[in-house]
Structure 1
Amino acid sequence: MRFFLVGLLALVLTGIAYLPFRPKEETAKELVLYGNIDLRQVDLAPGVAERIAKMYFWEGDIVHPGDLMAELVATRFAAEVENLKAQIAAQRALVEKLERGSRPQEIEHARALLAEAQSEETLAELNSQRARALLPKRLISQAEVDRAEASLKAARARRRAAQEAFSLALEGPRREDIAAARARLRALKAQLKQAKKNLADTKLYAPAAGVVQNRLLEPGDQASPQRPIYTLALTDPLWARVYLAETELGKVQPGMRAQVQSDSFPNKRYAAWVGYISPSAEFTPKNVETEELRTHLVYQARVFVCNPEGELRLGMPVTVRIPLSQPLPPPPSPCQAP
């Protein structure tokens, strides 16, 4: 009898010790799991570095996708945009000028200069011939003949230069110059696109629905992509983090319908569904590798829950009930689970 009582007492104590670590309770018709509400958090930071001009939300405020949450000082970014717009206008005008080639007036002007240079060359040639003819008669000096020859050479050079200028006016700009001007215009447009992006990044918008969890900076502080302004708790999707024992993996699959209850609203059940089951096991409540306690391996699961009135909050303990007799449906879309 003494050994029997000792054995019975040992079994009772073992059962009592094991009860707190049971991740679930199972009935004949449903599986009952216990967990906590979980959600994602994001740090909202601007895309550029500048001082904060305005902030519009405080801790606990509800935000919607696209809400303007903060603005940075945008003076230098706006000036950069205007500067690039002016450069693009000037470069576009240069490209159009090169593409159109020489104007008729420019061609006529070059032709007139060529005719003038040809006349000067003809006159210089005649003067040179007269000087060479008068030199044997000793009517002029050798110095005057040399000056006449030099004038002829200069006139011929000016005529050749005018001839080249006229040819260039007829041909128009070089293809290489036009290509370089076009490339410069594309580069300026790319810079303008980046400048506009930087200007837009001075305004911080909410990426999704959520609740402001932390207001990290204040107006006047220096913000940057590495220094966030807000911490936002995303309210969609919302899920309950629970754990499944290894023996229950065959009974629960993603897509199964579920219901979630909380202690704060005990008479209310929230529609939910199993959205994720971890592919790897973990030990609970602590890492144990003894052969006797291998059955304590559990798998984390996420049961997504609809929270239209915002009653469920991060960390709130909940009870998840999964009917075991249901057929396996396809995963429902958010907040449309039965």
Structure 2
Amino acid sequence: MTEFPNESDDSRKSTDSTEYTDESKLSHDDQPSVDSVEDRPNAEQGQATPTYRRDNPKSDKSAMLKKAVLAALVIAVLGVIAYGLFKSNQHSQPETISLQGQMQMQQTSIAAKVPGRIAQIMVTEGDKVTTGQQLIEMDSPEINAKINQARAGKQMAQSQLDKAESGARPQEIAQAKAAWQANKAASDLAANTYERVNRLYQEGLMARQKRDEAYAQYLATQDQTEAARLQYDLATEGARSEDKAAASAQVAQVDAQLEEALVAKEEANLKSPIAGIVDDVIVSAGEVIGQGVPILTLVNPDDQWVVLNVTENHLNQFAIGQRFTGTIPALSSTDKPFTKEFTVYATSTLSDFATWRPTNNDDGFDVRTFEIKARPSNPDSRIRSGMSVIVKIDPTAAIQAQE
């Protein structure tokens, strides 16, 4: 049997430290050993040895790590819950609707009114032009030929008019007068001869035949004298008023033909009908173009508007005269968006292809789409046709307006 007083201090410390911890070994034996029973009183009778507990640093670090992980998990769970509540609150509120429109400008196509060959193009894309500024110079020999023909016709018609208004020449008038005087003298002679022959006939000294011949001669000379007098009057009076009117009309007709030829030549050298910017030059110098063929296009930067397609459930926010704000991305920067205020001036419905139809009867009614046109309050020269315009609307505004 082992004696406890002779054991070393280390053995006693090991026994004290493992006295209450080694329960698994006791569970394997149903009864304690005799040595253990006999040794306990002796141990109690001996001098009591103090017990020293030493803390394990690794155990402390493990416990602190577990607490940190647990705290992180709690914070993550709370963050997920807060994010879910935030997103659910966002989904419960209606989102802002964005509409995309397009800027447009007044566009004018310049076409040729007369055929010809383009001699020179005097503008390029992007140039600013004023009203009446020459854009194209054309070469058309046909127009030049028509101008010369019209000028020759005018000279001929004008000479006919001058002749009708001036009348006969002085020599012609003098000749007519001399013929009238000669016939008048012959008529007077024939009258005197008839009177003498008639007296002789009445006295019985002249045959009836002679008297009749003298009378016929008298009548003939009278008619010739009258005809000569009328020729003299016609020479002095000039042409009739109808002839003068006809000559004047002929001159006017030739003037119109000449003016038409000159206008055609002027139209061949195309000039700008409006003030604006050259948007596109379609042809090149040296090309032969026909009548009505577009040559270039002009845009008026002062005549701008935006076109939006809006469904009828949001149409009350775009009534005629109502204002809204749009953003033009092409002119915006990262830190400064380019916004413009627009005023609605026209509304028109689109065709049936733009109608939003429900998939079944429970979804509601057919929603038509309308085209909205609005002008900027202050036109900007930097805006170009085709630029996008983003308009944000609040869907709750329609409900509030109805209430």
TM bracket (short chain) = 0.5 to 0.7
Deviations 1:205-258 (A, max 9, x none): 223344444332222211233322123344342221112221233342222333
Matching residue of 1:255: 321
Matching residue of 2:261: 195
Equivalent residue in structure 1 for 2:342, among 251, 257, 272: 272
Deviations 1:278-337 (A, max 9, x none): 1x2445767758664744421001122244332x2232221236898xxxxxxxxxxxxx
C-alpha displacement of 1:158: 8.4
Distance 1:222 1:158 in 2: 69
Aligned residues: 270
Distance 1:231 1:270 in 2: 26
Deviations 1:255-285 (A, max 9, x none): 233333211333222343212111x244576
Distance 2:364 2:301 in 1: 37
The aligned amino acid for 1:308 is D
Q: What is the correspondence of 1:218-297 to structure 2 with a 5 Å cutoff?
A: 218-266=284-332, 267-278=337-348, 280-282=349-351, 288=357, 292=363, 294-297=365-368
Equivalent residue in structure 2 for 1:38, among 104, 107, 110: 104
C-alpha displacement of 1:49: 0.9
> Using CA pairs below 8 Å that are at least 6 residues apart, which structure has the higher relative contact order?
1
Deviations 1:187-210 (A, max 9, x none): 122222322221211111223344
For the Cα contact (< 8 Å) 2:103–2:385, is it kept in 1?
yes
Higher helix share: 2
For the Cα contact (< 8 Å) 2:283–2:295, is it kept in 1?
yes
Relative distance call for 1:25 and 1:205 in structure 2 (3 A) is: farther
Equivalent residue in structure 1 for 2:375, among 293, 299, 304: 304
Relative distance call for 1:64 and 1:163 in structure 2 (3 A) is: closer
For the Cα contact (< 8 Å) 1:258–1:321, is it kept in 2?
no
C-alpha displacement of 1:178: 1.6
Among the aligned pairs, what percent are the same residue?
Answer: 26
The aligned amino acid for 2:153 is Q
Distance 1:254 1:64 in 2: 33
Relative distance call for 1:39 and 1:284 in structure 2 (3 A) is: farther
Relative distance call for 1:287 and 1:88 in structure 2 (3 A) is: farther
For the Cα contact (< 8 Å) 1:43–1:230, is it kept in 2?
yes
Distance 1:95 1:287 in 2: 75
Distance 2:184 2:131 in 1: 77
For the Cα contact (< 8 Å) 1:261–1:318, is it kept in 2?
yes
TM-score (norm 1): 0.64
Name structure 2 gaps, 5 residues minimum: 1-90, 190-220, 398-403
Q: Secondary structure at the match of 2:131?
A: coil
For the Cα contact (< 8 Å) 2:144–2:265, is it kept in 1?
yes
The answer to whether 1:316 aligns with 2:382 is: no
C-alpha displacement of 1:171: 4.3
Q: Secondary structure at the match of 1:58?
A: coil
Deviations 1:91-113 (A, max 9, x none): 33432432344465542231123
Equivalent residue in structure 1 for 2:150, among 84, 107, 115: 84
For the Cα contact (< 8 Å) 1:88–1:188, is it kept in 2?
yes
TM-score (norm 2): 0.55
Name whichever of 234-243 and 74-83 sits farther off: 74-83
Distance 1:229 1:99 in 2: 49
Deviations 1:122-172 (A, max 9, x none): 99xxxxxxxxxxxxxxxxxxxxxxxxxxxxxxx999878755532422443
Q: Secondary structure at the match of 1:68?
A: coil
In angstroms, what is the RMSD of aligned CA positions? 4.0
Q: Secondary structure at the match of 1:237?
A: strand
Equivalent residue in structure 1 for 2:137, among 71, 89, 96: 71
The aligned amino acid for 1:77 is I
Equivalent residue in structure 2 for 1:172, among 232, 238, 241: 238
Name structure 1 gaps, 5 residues minimum: 1-15, 17-23, 27-31, 124-154, 325-338
Greater C-alpha Rg: 2
